[in-house]
């Protein structure tokens, strides 16, 4: 049975959905004001793998991932560039979706945008004001009172006193607030900013209220999984949870958080100068290499990324592709069921808090077993192991045999390969070697097997 580490309880626990056979997931998506970076890729890949595994395990999964399309950063960029906020958000949302598609991340069932849920946010704030959990500051907006939430800080795992000492580092300082930890639910209108009308004045929503309205409106009370990067635990997710509880409702049943990305031992950030766009990484490497790198690090562990990491992961993916090519060259039937032994081991790894590093070990154990079976002439055994590798890799989102796109010269290469085969059949080995060398100079690798000759780009 799947066990997940719940941030709220700080322990692994059996995953039991609210409705048998169905899973509802809400994953915090991007604030669209800049190019997506490696951290976005790591987070999205984590929840893509969780979703794929749940579905493979027999669940009907509904996944929602939001877009923050109104925010200080969006407004600031629009002002700098003389553009509108929707124009900025639309551009960078398009770039984000493009890179997620390159990573073969399945699109969410719903991708709500914050500005589409203003009415829901107004309802939430109205409930909080009625419950005495929020207050209005004239000319500033509406704030949530943390003193009204007895268990405030439990998701973050911190006491109120500790958070008060840190106030100003992760929360907005405002002398008009009753407590430094009180957070804004609705920001009063400022000149030139987008605004919406509400009973307490014109303005725009606070970030934390946006996700409450979107998640609860679409998935309802007590949805199964709330996910995101662990940098969101405080204040964002803590402040979401506080609002829902103050409204007397049940929020997420399980909180899942993935760790950050380091580049050269430092957390990736623009301020450190090690901010790498996702597009740059994917231009330089097979997108599956980044997925492999993510899988080889447990999702709750900080992930080190660099050229060497991605190069090693790319080589690992090539080993998987090479096995599929060998199976095709040997004429092996890989459409049979996967090995039950490997499936059981794979499931045990994944059920232990999404243990992808151990699951990857199972996959490569099957690769080694398949190659040994081929070497020893046990073709049926080899076919079963190849089927295992293909199925389990697919569960993790690694589609095999997709390392190349058709090139403009594919037909020409096919002709040269056929000429080489004819030369070998005529025992004209000098010509066969000449043709092989010519293909190698063009970056083409030839593989001969019992089932014929295949080729791929190096």
The CATH number of the domain where 328 resides is what?
1.20.120.640
Domain that includes residue 441, residue range:
410-457
Same domain, 388 and 449: no
Cα separation of 221 and 291, whole Å?
Answer: 32
Q: Is residue 5 part of a domain?
A: no
Strands (E) across 249-338 are located at 254-258, 261-263, 266-267, 303-304
Cα separation of 164 and 162, whole Å?
Answer: 5
Same domain, 237 and 308: no
Same domain, 323 and 252: no
**Residue 21 three-state SS:** coil
Cα separation of 247 and 301, whole Å?
Answer: 34
Same domain, 55 and 126: yes
Q: Is residue 401 part of a domain?
A: no
Would you give the end-to-end CA distance of the chain in angstroms? Answer: 41
Cα separation of 273 and 186, whole Å?
Answer: 33
- pLDDT (tens digit, 9 = 90+) per residue, 330-345? 888 778 899 999 999 9
Same domain, 215 and 328: no
Backbone phi, psi, residue 292, to 5°: -60, -40
Write out the two tokens for 380.
């049926």
Say what percent of the chain tops pLDDT 90. 73
Write out the two tokens for 143.
């704030």
Total number of domains in the chain:
3
Q: Is residue 416 part of a domain?
A: yes
Q: Is residue 444 part of a domain?
A: yes
Indicate whether 265 pLDDT > 80: no
Indicate whether 403 pLDDT > 60: no
Q: Which CATH number do you get for residue 116? A: 3.40.50.620
DSSP letter assigned to residue 265: T
**Residue 223 three-state SS:** coil
DSSP lists the bridge partners of residue 377 as none
User: For residue 344, what are the CA distances in angstroms to 72, 285, 306, 348, 359?
Assistant: 49, 32, 33, 6, 10
- Which candidate, 319, 266, 262, places its Cα nearest to that of 289? 319
Q: If you average pLDDT over every residue of the chain, what do you get?
A: 90
Same domain, 186 and 259: yes
- pLDDT (tens digit, 9 = 90+) per residue, 12-47? 999 999 999 999 999 999 999 999 999 999 999 999
Same domain, 112 and 208: yes
Residue 366: pLDDT band by 50, 70, 90 thresholds? very high
Same domain, 372 and 415: no
């Amino acid at each position: 049975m799947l066990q997940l580490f719940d941030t709220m309880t700080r322990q692994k626990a059996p995953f039991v959905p609210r409705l048998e056979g169905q899973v509802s997931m809400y994953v915090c998506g991007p604030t669209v004001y800049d190019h997506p970076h490696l951290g976005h890729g790591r987070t999205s890949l984590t929840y893509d793998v969780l979703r794929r595994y749940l579905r493979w395990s027999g669940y009907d999964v509904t996944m929602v991932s939001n877009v923050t399309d109104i925010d200080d950063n969006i407004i600031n960029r629009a002002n700098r560039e003389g553009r509108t906020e929707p124009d900025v958000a639309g551009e960078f949302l398009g770039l984000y979706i493009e890179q997620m598609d390159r990573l073969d991340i399945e699109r969410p069932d719903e991708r709500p945008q914050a500005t589409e849920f203003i009415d829901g946010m107004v309802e939430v704030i109205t409930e909080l004001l009625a419950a005495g959990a929020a207050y209005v500051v004239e000319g500033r907006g509406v704030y949530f009172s943390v003193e009204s939430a007895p268990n405030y800080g439990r998701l973050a795992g911190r006491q109120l006193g500790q958070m008060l000492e840190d106030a100003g580092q992760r929360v907005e300082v405002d002398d008009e607030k009753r407590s430094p930890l009180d957070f804004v639910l609705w920001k009063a209108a400022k000149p030139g900013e987008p605004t919406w009308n509400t009973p307490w004045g014109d303005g725009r929503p606070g970030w934390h209220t946006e996700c409450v309205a979107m998640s609860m409106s679409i998935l309802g009370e007590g949805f199964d999984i709330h996910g995101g990067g662990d940098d969101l635990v405080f204040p964002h997710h803590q402040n979401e949870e506080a609002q829902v509880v103050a409204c007397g409702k049940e929020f997420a049943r399980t909180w899942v958080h993935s760790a950050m990305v380091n580049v050269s031992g430092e957390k990736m950030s623009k301020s450190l100068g090690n901010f790498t766009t996702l597009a740059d990484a994917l231009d330089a490497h097979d997108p599956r290499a980044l997925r492999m790198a993510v899988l080889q690090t447990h999702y709750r562990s900080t992930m080190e990324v660099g050229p060497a990491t991605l190069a090693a992961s790319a080589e690992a993916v090539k080993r998987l592709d090479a096995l599929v090519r060998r199976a095709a060259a040997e004429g092996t039937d890989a459409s049979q069921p996967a090995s039950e032994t490997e499936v059981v081991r794979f499931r045990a790894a994944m059920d232990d808090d999404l243990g992808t590093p151990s699951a990857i070990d199972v996959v490569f154990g099957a690769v080694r077993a398949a190659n040994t079976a081929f070497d020893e002439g046990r073709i049926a055994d080899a076919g079963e192991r190849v089927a295992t590798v293909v199925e389990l890799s697919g569960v993790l989102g690694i589609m095999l045999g997709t390392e190349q796109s058709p090139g403009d010269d594919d037909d020409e290469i096919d002709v040269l390969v056929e000429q080489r085969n004819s030369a070998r059949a005529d025992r004209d080995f000098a010509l066969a070697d000449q043709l092989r060398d010519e293909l190698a100079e063009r970056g083409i690798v030839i593989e001969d097997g019992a089932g014929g000759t295949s080729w791929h780009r190096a």
